[in-house]
Structure formats: structure tokens, C-alpha cells
Amino acid sequence: MTTEVFRRVCVLYTGGTIGMGYNADGLLEPMRLKHLEEFLIKMTILYEKKPNETEEQARARIVSKDGWIFLPQKAVDDYPSVDEKTKYHVLYKIKAVEPPIDSSKMVPEKWFEIADRIRAVKEQYDGFVILHGTDTMAYTSSALSFILKDLKKPVILTGAQRSIFHPRSDAEDNFIGAMLIAGCYSKTAALQKVMLCNDCKLFQGNRVCKFDCDSFRVFDSPNMKPLAYLDTIIKVRDCKSDPVEETIFVNRQETARDGGLPDVRLLRFFPGIQEKYVRSVLEGADGVVLETFGSGNAPEHDWLKKALIEAGRRKVVMLNCTQVYRGTVLPIYAASEAGVVFGYDITPEAAMTKMIWTLKTFPDFETRRQVLEASICGESSAPPKQIKFIQKILTQELY
Ligand code: ASP
């Protein structure tokens, strides 16, 4: 007897080229959800309709009465099943984060909204796929890796360089690849995290950079190999994460303040950088990501050291990461004197989003620094640490 295993995936459509089509004026814009959903159903019918079936009969088989859509079974059958008697099926529902946007319009508030929507329905699904424009996908995937670090389900961002409605597009491949991982591999512990699927590769979401605007190979993960390769055979790399031996204890009363976003800034060093410019970036900031030279070097100016030290005294949190594409910042350079935290090999996208998340989540200056200098969810090769929330007992209460 065959055992049928059904895996349920929630698809969140945020916009991007993958869902773009021409409007009445001949201009490209993100299509509405219904249009995209209908196209995906038709695509499955095309692959799955049996010769003796009408299109209506095939549709009734592919879309259940309560709205679940089956992923093409021919693609699901590529999944190396545990045994011949187990048959997997991937079903999905597609929902929109309104309004669908070009991802250049993405804002941090939306990261938190997407995360809230995922958390709200997490028990109903095995995995999540987020359709997103490629321009800021690396920021969203990094941000979600921090916000959803305790979710323990696969969340996969994907998009395309060309619309799914175009006959020569990377969209279908990316979509089906992401769906297979979110569905079939949802119980694989190493893949229960935020990831990004592009061009037959599955990357860890907080390790990616967009590095090509033209090719279908849009993303790279400069300091970490892909987690899986979706070639003719799907190969998941045997990736063991380092044991987490240290814990950062955080007083629960000091967390999760609602309210606005922190003022986070980017200071990229360049030869000839001027004091006035540096001070204008540091003045009034809550947190600053420094993009330094090579392995964390800064120009040798007394005024620069002074400006950084003064910013540190004002409790501006500063994170040093390299402006070089690949490699790591070493904790040996002058910036450490100013209390700047070392980001190791964190990408600029992960550094920026981690800074925003950290400052929004932890009001205490020392906690912020501790969180930033550790690897919280595999975002860098810094020593890994976990965060534990505790109920602080005030000393006075003991007497
Ligand atoms: N500008 C588009 C976006 O990021 C590009 C894409 O989707 O690839 O939304």
C-alpha cells in the first residue's frame, strides 16, 4: 500500500518582475494576485492533464474544493522519497502582501509585516515561499532570518529576472525549485531557516548578495557555499552548524518595544573622506554600519578615531564590515579602540538588516553590542551564540 504524504506551502506574493505583466497602457507593472494564481493553475494543468480528461476535469483534480493548488506532480516526483511506497504531494495557497510592489519600494516595516503574517499561520503550513523582486531580496531574506530565527520551518524567497508570463523566463524554474524545498524538505532540520532560491541553487538567506543584473544567475553567497543544488538531481549539502556554546541573556522587560524604527546609517570609507562628512553621518545616528577597507582598515586620521570614540560614548552602535566582496574583517584594527563591533564576514545586506533588527529589539547598549558581535543565525563566521530571554528579578525584591 502506498502512503500519501501531503505537504502544505503558503506562497506570499509581494511583487517583483516575477509577477509583472503589461497594463492597458503597455507599461510593465506587478499583476494582481488572481492573474498570477490563474497562470500557475494553467501551468499545472498543462503538465498534468491526462489525455482522456477535459481541461475542466483536470482543473477539478488540481485545485481542491477548499482552494489548495497542487504543484505539478512530475516535479514533486523528483524528490528522493524515503521509500518506494511513500508518495509526496505539494499543495499550496497563494496570498498577496498588498499592494504588490517593485522591490525597490520595500521598507523595513514590511519585513515585520511579512514575518507577522507567517507567524500567524505557521501551524497551518509546512513551509513558506515568498515571491519578491530581486533588487532588495537579499535585504528581505537577511532581515527575515533574524526576525524569524525561531520559526523552525523553511521560508524561501525567490523571484525572477523575467516575468513568469514570458516564454523565456527563469521564473518557473525558481518557483518550482523553491516550492519543492519548502514542501518536500520541510522536515530536513538543516533547511528549517530563511533561504533564497535562484538559478538552481539554494542559499542561506542571510549570506546572499545580488551580484548580476542581467544574468539568470542573480545571486551569490560570497562566504558560504549553497545549501543545496537543484540540478537534474536535488543535492542537499551535508551542512552541520557549529555547536552553540554561549548564551546572551536578555531581560524580557527590556525587549520588543513597539514604536518606530531606529535611525541606522551606512558609512563607507574611501580615500580622501572628509571629517565633515564622517561627523554628519555619525551625529544623531542610533547605529552605523562601517564599510571599511580590506580586513577592516580605516584611513589613518586622528580626527576619525576621535569621531568614532565620541560616537561610541554617545552609545551609537557601530559594526565594522568590509567593503570587499569576499573575506572577513579581523578584530585587530584601530577601530576596536572606539568600541566598534567586528562583523567578521557578514554581507553588507545582513549587516544593515541585523543592525535594524537588533536596535529595534534590544534597547540596552551592551546587549546590542553582544548580539551584533555574535553569529545569531549563521549570518557570519563570528562565534555563534543563542539569545535567551529571562525574567529579571530586581535585587530590591529579595529584601
Ligand atoms: N526591479 C525588480 C524588483 O526588484 C527587479 C526584479 O524583480 O528582478 O522588484
For the stretch 310-324, pLDDT in tens is 999 999 999 999 999
| Cα–Cα distance, 108 to 219 (Å, whole number) | 21
Quick check: 67 pLDDT over 90? yes
CA 206–ligand 1 middle distance (angstroms)? 19
| Cα–Cα distance, 137 to 157 (Å, whole number) | 7
Confidence at 335, pLDDT banded by 50, 70, 90 = low
- Alpha helices for 185-338 (secondary structure H): 275-282, 302-313
| Cα–Cα distance, 257 to 273 (Å, whole number) | 36
Confidence at 393, pLDDT banded by 50, 70, 90 = low
For the stretch 341-375, pLDDT in tens is 999 999 999 999 999 999 999 999 999 999 999 99
Confidence at 332, pLDDT banded by 50, 70, 90 = low
CA triple 40-204-290, angle to 5 deg: 125
Going along the chain from its start, the domains and CATH numbers come out as 3-236 (3.40.50.1170), 246-398 (3.40.50.40)
Binding site members for substrate: 103, 134-135
Quick check: 390 pLDDT over 90? no
Question: CB atoms < 10 A from the CB of 282, how many?
Answer: 20
For the stretch 108-149, pLDDT in tens is 999 999 999 999 999 999 999 999 999 999 999 999 999 999
What are residue 219's DSSP bridge partners?
A: 210
219-220 vs 228-230, strand pairing mode: unpaired
CA 79–ligand 1 middle distance (angstroms)? 30
Confidence at 394, pLDDT banded by 50, 70, 90 = low
Quick check: 50 pLDDT over 80? yes
Determine whether 322 is an active site residue.
Answer: no
Region at 67 (left for phi over 0; alpha for psi -120 to 50; beta for the rest):
left
Determine whether 17 is an active site residue.
Answer: yes
Report the pLDDT averaged over residues 42-68: 96
CA 241–ligand 1 middle distance (angstroms)? 32
Confidence at 271, pLDDT banded by 50, 70, 90 = very high
Which residue among 134, 139, 158 has the greatest number of ligand 1 atoms within 8 angstroms of its CB, and so is best to mutate?
134
C-alpha cell at 341: 563591533
Beta-carbon contacts of residue 137 (< 8 Å; ≥ 6 apart): 16, 103, 157, 159, 196, 208, 210, 219
DSSP-based three-state secondary structure for 117: helix
Mean confidence (pLDDT) of the chain: 92
Per DSSP, which regions of 169-245 are E strands?
Answer: 194-198, 201-204, 209-210, 219-220, 228-230, 234-236
Quick check: 399 pLDDT over 60? no
Binding site members: 103, 134-135
